[in-house]
Chain A
Amino acid sequence: MNTVQLFVTCLVDSFYPKTGTAVVDILRRLGTDVEFAPDQTCCGQAIFNAGLRDEARPSVEHTIRVFEKTTGDIVIPSGSCAHMIKHGYIELFAEDPVWLARAQSLASRVYEFTEFIVDKIGVTDLGAHWEGTLTYHPSCHTLRAMNIDRQPRALLENVKGANIVELPEAESCCGFGGIFSMEHPELSAEWLKRKISNLDQTQSNTLVVTESGCLLHIAGGLHRQKKQQKVIHIAELLNHR
């Protein structure tokens, strides 16, 4: 049995543990041996993206150390955290050959969750079942930074019972952007408003995302606006049978 490391991400760990459980269930059903390195914390993305590179370094080095002790591919239910490890770490250590080599070897093991299922395992039908209308928000980092789009869409197409409708302006940012939504809340609020009004147009009650950042942001906005639609991470949806 192949060993797979789960990097669960700090947001899933702290806010949405069910997403992590769904990832584990799915990976195990596909015949992999899922391991969870208990010392893992946060990839450091928010700190790095804000420009605090020196401050980000200790948590990044910590993450590298934790996963160097493990074997197998690393699966991450987040395109932006996967992007941080694959590309952000390389950028951070550009001037440091020793750490750069360590970062590169880690980067080569990293997969976003849907990418791993479709491209690495080669499966697009997970036998999921969901009654109702779904719409998909392609998270910015999954879509553009990681270039992952056909994988989640292929997985969604095979969800039995689901009627999938296209979200208008699907590819525009929901306005989260990590610390950005706190730094520039007025801008972030405008995009959130637009995203929710596009969701309203679909008449769908369920919005599927690949990123718990978008989930926090959009679900939090829906709650503020007293709306009924739910936002769900794709792993939880695909684990629904």
Chain B
Amino acid sequence: MSETDFRARIRKSLANETLQTALDANAERRTNGRATAFESLPDWRERRQRAHAVRADAIENLEGYLEQFTSNAEQNGIIIHRAENANEAINIIFDIVGEKALVPEGNASPLLIAKSKSMVTEEINLNHALEAKGMRVVETDLGEYIIQLRNERPSHIITPAVHLRRTDVGQLFHEKLGVPYTEDIPTMTNTARKILRDVFLTADVGISGVNFGVAETGGICLVTNEGNGRMVTSLPPIHIALMGMERLVRNLDDLALMLSLLPRSATGQKLSVYTQIIHRPLPHQQRHVIIIDNGRTKLRSSPLNESLLCIRCGACMNACPVFREIGGHAYNSVYPGPIGSVISAGLFGSEFVPLAQASSLCGACKDACPVDIDLPKLLTRVRAEQSPTIDLRSKTNGLSILSRIFLKTYARIATYPRLFAFSQKFASLGTYLLSPFSEYIHLPAFTGWGYSKDLPRFARRTFREQFNREASKDIMITKEEKKEALSQPDVFSSPKGLSVQIEKIGQFVEELTKVSGQVIHIAENDLTIKVIEFLESKGVNQIHLEPNILDEDELQLAGITVSHERNVSIRVGVTKAICGLADTGSILEANDGGDKLYASLLPEIHLAVLKESDIYPSLENAINLTKESKSAVFITGPSRTGDIEMSHTIGVHGPGEVVVFLVP
């Protein structure tokens, strides 16, 4: 993409009114959401510095951590692959699916792949490669599903369909899926839920990305909101996770720190609805992780290496005034926005270098970055042709010829003080001749300067001519003021004492209610009765049930049957939560397969039994419990999406109701 193409794309975006409205709404919503979310993390500034250090350490010692991760994951039964580039990654996947990948003959149906959102698969253009081999690939994140149906690329790494209005989606679903046209977002969401449910249950392979790999435990972490990530990683017999090689953190404590920042920055949530930490394959499941380089090793040894600290939250895009005007597609890269302008040039090629010129270096991106990447500095390095992909023969940094000539001339002048002073006089005279009667000159638009503003005349007498060496007499007597403290100490209170447990319970209830979850307090011996009452109120007589929580005889007497088969018509599942988190209203579930997995994953309503004493203050206090399960998930309220016009819609793929039965 040349700089002229880029300029043309910018103009096209600016002229697209639908896009402009969508982008304004996105920027405002996301910026406000993020600000509110960080209010609940008073020590976020300090956390941000720690997170920077954690990521910097991971990149610095990447090879060591990769080895550690690989050996631990392999010990846990996960199969690890390394791919140098896109082709290798794709071939590894072909090898894994093996015979099944062959184009089926006659009436055999093609191999079905269910995918959850993954930017690294976009980066290597995976869908295209799989489809070329005759496989059927279905994106299951609502936003990705929409853009797959439109045959487009994501326009934002977090909200891929942010450029579309609900009317576009309604029309698309009507045309491609044959459903009646609607502008009702819950109806559209429900259509996708129904169609994709079938995909999850029949898929041969699930493909996902990875948010973080944990070196010390060999685990992988995935955060999603809709529930498709859980389905893709637990229902098909083969799960393949693709991970950029830089995605590692040292241990679970570091992961907890990153998780306190990632969802807040990405979507303004304290915790995403589903925070999965996967350590082993489920019974009868193959789990693979493909670690992808694709230019990262080169990037790591280049002056742009700080860009590898990125945790892909998209906050810099939401904060960026350029992104707000042009949207993701104008960048013509999988990774748009400020970080995209750095890593696209760093990973993919010098044709992306001009992207970095589209920045006033205002620093809003650096400010928004949860790991404090110095994006303005990196952008100037891209402009200075320090990207590892730079092609020295066709050197261009995207600067127009006019600007280049102007700056080069000015650079010469600024080196010689007399020439500098002479040029000032010359410019002053010139501008007075051009505009003898007005202080301002109306330059033509092609100069850039004249596009939207007028140029003032140069001063008749420059400052250097006016500077008066004599000190004026009226020295002011000032009252000396003490310097204000540069910053106030962070208020970070850690609760102690007995009343703390009650406080934690209160906080848990409050937070879960905020994310549209429900809490029912009960006495322990009442549990089965209360569950039965609840089921009767919903008219439900069949449930998925984790063993040993409820009195099954009593259930039977009440006419409620317990299913042990995977059954999509069952509307309620009952599990016992491992623990709760007070500050986010989350519950921890082990996804180890069988009844327990189905109960929290498939039904519309998820009932979780939680002991009050199992409520921990925060994720960082409980994250080590995830090591015990094959696949653990922190669930924070019902499944949700904001993929259509960022309208908050409950119940996409996972349960639409989460009810916690709190027992003493």
Give residues in A with beta carbon < 8 Å to B.
6, 8, 10, 12-17, 20-21, 24-25, 28-31, 33-34, 36, 38-42, 44, 46-53, 55-56, 58-59, 62, 87, 91, 118-119, 121-127, 140-141, 143-145, 150, 154, 171-173, 175-193, 216-217, 219-221, 223-224
Contacts and interface: CB of A to CB of B under 8 A. Distances in A.
Given A29-B472, A55-B408, A223-B454, A49 B380 contact: yes
Interface centre among A30, A125, A177, A178 (most CB of B within 10 A): A177
A223 B438 CA distance: 11
Contact of A223 (B325, B356, B453): B453
Contacts of B466: 17, 20-21
A189 B321 contact: no
A130 B463 CA distance: 24
A19 B448 CA distance: 26
Given A20-B467, A180-B361, 17 more contacts: A41-B417, A51-B399, A59-B411, A62-B415, A91-B377, A118-B483, A144-B364, A150-B484, A154-B484, A172-B321, A177-B362, A179-B403, A180-B357, A183-B357, A191-B321, A216-B456, A220-B455
Contacts of A191: 321, 325, 360
A24 B468 contact: yes
Interface stretch (B119-127, B186-194, B473-481, B500-508): B473-481
A190 B321 CA distance: 9
Given A185-B445, A190-B325, A144 B362 contact: yes
Query: Interface size bucket, B side?
Result: 35 or more
Nearest to A38: B464
Contact of A42 (B357, B420, B468): B420
B174 interface: no
Contacts of A46: 407, 410
Nearest to B400: A183
B414 interface: yes
Given A30-B476, A55-B408, A50 B383 contact: yes
B511 to A, nearest CB: 30
Contacts of B268: none
Interface in B383-409: 383-385, 397, 399-400, 402-404, 406-408
17 contacts: A8-B464, A29-B476, A39-B417, A41-B420, A47-B414, A51-B397, A55-B411, A140-B362, A141-B363, A178-B360, A182-B403, A184-B7, A186-B10, A187-B10, A187-B322, A220-B449, A220-B456
Interface SS of chain A: helix
Nearest to A34: B471
B467 A36 contact: yes
A123 B480 CA distance: 6
B461 interface: yes
Pick the 7 closest A-B CB pairs, nearest first. Answer: A177-B360, A51-B383, A182-B448, A220-B453, A185-B451, A189-B452, A144-B363
A40 B479 CA distance: 33
B624 interface: no
A187 B325 CA distance: 7
A220 B454 CA distance: 4
A216 to B, nearest CB: 7
A220 B480 CA distance: 39
B48 to A, nearest CB: 14
Interface string B203-243: 00000000000000000000000000000000000000000
A14 B411 contact: no
